[in-house]
Amino acid sequence: MNATYVKQALLLLTLLLPLGTARAEVIVFVHGYMGSANSWTASGITSELGKAGWVHVGLPATSDQPKA
């Protein structure tokens, strides 16, 4: 990574930070290559978000969710 790119990225971040907190009604998690949609639950991310008031509505029917 060259120094010009790093300087430009830092300038952009500096300009965007004062804009305030982002708000959202929906969060979409995308797992990495060879990952699983269940990794967010297994890692504790969904439970932490639940403590903050977010509601976990589930996984798409075509996902690799475990059988009950």
**Domain around 17:** 3-51
Does some domain include residue 68? no
Residue 14: inside a domain: yes
Confidence of residue 61 (pLDDT cuts 50, 70, 90): low
The string of DSSP codes covering 1-68 is --HHHHHHHHHHHHHHGGG-----S-------TT--TTHHHHTTHHHHHHHTT-------TTS-PPP-
> What is the pLDDT of the chain when averaged over all its residues?
76
Structurally, the chain folds into a number of domains equal to 1
Query: pLDDT, tens digit, for every residue of 2-33?
Result: 778 888 888 887 777 766 666 777 777 777 78
In a domain, 61, yes or no: no
Q: What is the pTM of this model?
A: 0.45
Any domain includes 56: no
Task: Tell me whether residue 15 is in a domain.
Answer: yes
Separation of alpha carbons 9 and 15, rounded Å: 10
